[in-house]
Structure 1
Amino acid sequence: MEPSTAMGITDLSAAAALAELVRFPSVSAISNADVSERVHQWLASMGFAVEVTEYRDEAGVAKVNLVARRDPQSRSASTTGGLAYFCHTDVVPVADWNGPGGDPFEAVVTDDRIYGRGSCDMKGSLVSMMQAASRISAADQTAPLWIVCTADEEVGFEGATHMVHHSPAYREIVESQPLAIIGEPTGLRVVHAHKGITGFSVTSKGRAAHSSTDEGVNANIAITPIMELLCELAETTRTDPSLADSRFDPPHLSWTFGISDGCTAVNITPGRSVAWCSLRPMPDINGESLIARVESEALRRGLTFRRFKGGHPVWIEPDADCIESMCQIAGGPPMTVCYGTDGGEFDELDQRVIFGPGNIAQAHTTDEWISLDQLHRGTELYAQAIRRWCMQD
């Protein structure tokens, strides 16, 4: 799509810049190349050198990651440390939209809120960071500043994984060990830890036929014992103290499961049935022994077991210097959350914190929004973080 304006990020209000990014319908199923190009232009206009890496997803769709770096102008300044901000440019699909305006990709500002798909998760955060960076001159920097934008966070952290393995610029970040801010919506509270996510499926193959005959083989029969086991293990995850971590709320693995046989009529003998399960590993409790039980039982019964790619949990000690320093900027103690982020892919970075404007409760909703107050406060706090980690004497 064609962007609505060629104005630079410094020429736009936060609301206007966010509206510009929302107009790109960068759902994970399609390419994020257009929105990445707009962000690339804005970053280049602020003096960032931008590395662009591309890959194709499993469907053959072109995806783009950006790693932008702005170094201090002084030759005597440090080339290590600094600050690296991470975000994703993909958004979740829109099945129904109940927000004002009727179009999820045309942002609407009303009642101190900006409505639109991706406004909260997480294009608003990216706008806050870019506007914060625009307030600080490279001449005043004493350490590097990075802004990193990945694809496919919403569908398995694929963009972050590709960047970790294929981006020379990301290798520079690892060598420099800056503070890494993953800018997901936390309501501008400091998050020092989160759960991961993983899952699997079990497939039973029978033979479809008209249910009035004996020609069919009902695939649900073979998979019923697997469903019983999944139900049993769900109860185990909630009652076994060794599978609980009170540092998270809820403290269990959030073991969730379901089944689909694809039948659209009652007079069909189901020829294929798929049971699925997802869970959220914690730093010290990964649920792998439970997954192994299901896999063993599935294979014993001649069923197909398939593991899904997931994301790793994050745990940075709450009294780590980077967490305590970020808490001083944000105000308030650190906390844990139970959703996952790209931050789980960046385990080579020792200083990580999840911190961004917007409330996770507004993400992925049918009327997704971020408040103007969060957007502006995000800019202010990000600017303070840049000064703390990129402008030290």
Structure 2
Amino acid sequence: MKNATREALDTLSRLIAFPSVSSASNVDISEYVDTLLRSLGFETERTTYVDSKGIRKANIVAKRMPVEPSDSSAAGLAYFCHTDVVPAQNWVGPNPDSPGDAFTATLANDRVYGRGACDMKGSLVAFLAAVKQVPQASQQHPLWVVCTADEETGFQGARHLVESSTAYREIVAAQPVAIIGEPTELGVVHAHKGITGFRILSRGRAAHSSTAEGVNANVAMVPMLQKIAELNERTLTEPRYRDLRFDPPTLSWNFGFTDHGTAINITAPKSEAWVSLRTMPEIDGSDLIDEAQRHAQSLGLEFQPLIGCDPIWVDANAPCIQTMCELAGAVPTTKCYATDGGLFGELNQRLVCGPGNIAQAHTADEWISIEQLEKGTDLYRRAITQWC
């Protein structure tokens, strides 16, 4: 095994060891990444905020300028990632008979297992390894690394970055090529869907069901669920809600329901329904959401919009896409998931490209192959060389 690979695996193991689940703070891992970036010649800006549950979170924007800037107007390259991960309660790892700890990296079958190995600490490690291979003395244009919080739970970190970071404003002014390093097996994604939705609440009063004292919150919710199902059917059948550039080409209207019931002889005091949909560049479903809101209000129900992110769409023939495809030996594709890159709409040259397969993300045995880490490092090195 190459020394560079061993070093990358050691860094990945250290990152996995931070239990940076979105429900917890990511400040510790951010401080560690900040140290790594400074050792590579970056100046860093670290901004923090307190999330809705009172937990402190951190974003990092790091910039490495060339020693002798070029007279060219080329804008450089910015790499984006997130440091939070999904929970790991049902972790099995590479050996279901001996699951081990999701936050202790395990090397087996030429893979690194651990929560975040694929999504997306492996990607960050590959990019840092690539940076190490490009001396600052050879750099002619700016290079940025951006690490956000809360990507897995509503993109609050990216939203705070856009609203509060002075360093991010510099990136917007420069308009570099922006690589969102989510796992694509190093394919080049020029477009992905956004996400939005809403929540509906019906309030009742709990009482013994044998009496007339209670108010069952489900009664008012039933016609709302019927409306939600009707709207879902329209997204599947009406051509105006289809974009054949995506697979599936629909809004992927998804919904659920709970009444918080505690026993069959107690009337439900609260009933909740939620809807999530995947927006597309010219199809955002806003008319369907408005119709749902009007119906909820007519039933006396509370309506709460859910904040998500916009889709990404950069023309497949754009120079940044074509150049990245040449570097990766790939063709541009679209995806139906969302990334916090959807919050960075002020950046005109966005694309998604990273090591690892999205199918391994969020799984009970999440892993990334050593081969993908090495290939990702090589591709990122060539991208840095191309634009910096």
1:355 aligns with 2:353: yes
Question: Which secondary structure state, in structure 1, belongs to the residue aligned with residue 348 of structure 2?
Answer: coil
Counterpart of 2:161 (choices 157, 160, 163) is 163
Question: Which secondary structure state, in structure 2, belongs to the residue aligned with residue 216 of structure 1?
Answer: coil
Q: 1:78 to 1:30 in 2, by over 3 A?
A: farther
Counterpart of 2:60 (choices 56, 60, 66) is 66
Counterpart of 1:321 (choices 319, 330, 345) is 319
CA contact (8 A) 1:80 1:175 kept: no
Q: 1:293 to 1:11 in 2, by over 3 A?
A: closer
Question: What is aligned with 1:378?
Answer: 376
Of 248-257 and 204-213, the range deviating more from structure 2: 204-213
Question: What is aligned with 1:51?
Answer: 45
Q: Report the CA distance between 1:70 and its aligned residue.
A: 0.4
Q: Report the CA distance between 1:361 and its aligned residue.
A: 0.7
| 2:327 maps to amino acid | I
Counterpart of 1:90 (choices 84, 89, 96) is 84
Question: Which secondary structure state, in structure 2, belongs to the residue aligned with residue 213 of structure 1?
Answer: coil
CA contact (8 A) 2:195 2:338 kept: yes
1:179-198 matches, cutoff 5 A: 179-198=177-196
CA contact (8 A) 1:55 1:63 kept: yes
| 2:238 maps to amino acid | D
CA contact (8 A) 2:76 2:142 kept: yes
Question: Which secondary structure state, in structure 1, belongs to the residue aligned with residue 306 of structure 2?
Answer: strand
1:273 aligns with 2:271: yes
Distance 2:372 2:233 in 1: 39
Question: What is aligned with 2:132?
Answer: 134
Question: Which secondary structure state, in structure 1, belongs to the residue aligned with residue 80 of structure 2?
Answer: strand
Question: Which secondary structure state, in structure 2, belongs to the residue aligned with residue 374 of structure 1?
Answer: helix
Distance 1:15 1:265 in 2: 51
Question: Which secondary structure state, in structure 1, belongs to the residue aligned with residue 281 of structure 2?
Answer: coil
Distance 2:70 2:326 in 1: 29
CA shift digits 1:19-58 (9 cap, x unpaired): 1100000011111011011111111001000111111111
Q: TM-score, normalised by structure 2?
A: 0.96
* RMSD value, Cα: 1.3
CA contact (8 A) 2:69 2:140 kept: no
Matched residues, number? 382
| 2:18 maps to amino acid | F
| 1:208 maps to amino acid | A
Distance 2:244 2:210 in 1: 53
Q: 1:80 to 1:158 in 2, by over 3 A?
A: farther
Distance 1:130 1:376 in 2: 12
Question: What is aligned with 1:40?
Answer: 34
Q: Which runs of structure 1 show a deviation greater than 3 angstroms over 4 or more consecutive aligned residues?
A: 9-12, 75-80
Identity %: 56
CA contact (8 A) 2:5 2:374 kept: no
CA contact (8 A) 1:47 1:70 kept: yes
Q: Report the CA distance between 1:130 and its aligned residue.
A: 0.4
Distance 2:93 2:211 in 1: 49
Question: Which secondary structure state, in structure 2, belongs to the residue aligned with residue 99 of structure 1?
Answer: coil
Of 15-24 and 210-219, the range deviating more from structure 2: 210-219
Distance 1:77 1:103 in 2: 51
Gaps of 5+ in 1: 1-8
Q: Report the CA distance between 1:141 and its aligned residue.
A: 0.4
Gaps of 5+ in 2: none
Q: Report the CA distance between 1:351 and its aligned residue.
A: 0.5
Question: Which secondary structure state, in structure 1, belongs to the residue aligned with residue 140 of structure 2?
Answer: coil
1:199 aligns with 2:197: yes
CA contact (8 A) 1:27 1:91 kept: yes
CA contact (8 A) 1:79 1:176 kept: no
Q: 1:345 to 1:362 in 2, by over 3 A?
A: same
Distance 1:79 1:49 in 2: 21
| 1:25 maps to amino acid | P
1:339 aligns with 2:337: yes
Question: What is aligned with 2:18?
Answer: 24
Question: Which secondary structure state, in structure 1, belongs to the residue aligned with residue 251 of structure 2?
Answer: coil
Question: What is aligned with 1:108?
Answer: 106
Q: Report the CA distance between 1:112 and its aligned residue.
A: 1.2
Distance 1:388 1:330 in 2: 12
